[in-house]
Amino acid sequence: MAASLKELDRRIRSVKNTQQITRAMKMVAAAKLRRAQDKLIAARPYGGKLEELLDGLTGTQIDHPLFEERNLRRRFVVVISSDKGLCGSYNAGVLRQTEDWLKAHDDDGVENVIYVVGRKANDFFKRRQWKVETVIDDLGGVIDVPRFNQIADDLMHRFLKDEVQEIRIFYTRFVSTLRYEPTPATLLPLKPAESDG
């Protein structure tokens, strides 16, 4: 009887310790989320102004290769996902939307090539029929501006060399803590801001 009481007491202490650790982890996660939200909210005005600037530019006649509509033979479809799971609809929505879009555009005579950013998108598309040409899955959840600049430079370089004639991106737009929207856009050639299917 005394041994079973000791065992019960040990289990109770173990559960309390686990609760304490879980509470601390929740607090750390909440603080990280808040910091990320603050950065995102602070960056939104810049993104909006950039869209306005591009909209204004595309309304005029600009002779620059980034604005040039080309004979479409090959298209990069850039898919951005997370490296890990357990994030609700964050990955599922954008992957489903990308796959649906690819299926709808399979017969348009254009080679669609997947350019993956994130391990979950790589896992998803390597089991599908489309060619995955580039995989970047080592970002580790860190906002690495120099690395993102390398990715952007690579995409722009391939577009300018006419390896691809269009670059579309599918990403998950943060609306609120409980709501994310899978969002498609055409990166290149530059055109007015859009949210088309």
ω into 184 cis (within 30 of 0): no
Fill in the amino acid letter for 133: E
Token reading at 95: 């992957």
- Separation of first and last alpha carbons in the chain: 68
Q: What is the CA 50 to chain-centroid distance, rounded?
A: 19
Catalytic residue, from 24, 30, 62, 87: name it: 87
Please enumerate in sequence order all residues whose Cβ is within 8 A of that of 184, keeping only pairs 6 or more positions apart, or say none: 97, 98, 101, 168, 169, 170, 195, 196, 197
- Sign of the CA dihedral running 77, 83, 85, 90: negative
82 is catalytic: no
Q: Can you tell me the distance from the alpha carbon of 60 to that of 89, in angstroms, rounded to the nearest whole number?
A: 39
Under a CB-based contact definition with an 8 Å cutoff, are residues 122 and 137 in contact?
yes
Q: By the 8 A CB rule, do 184 and 52 touch?
A: no
Active-site positions?
A: 87
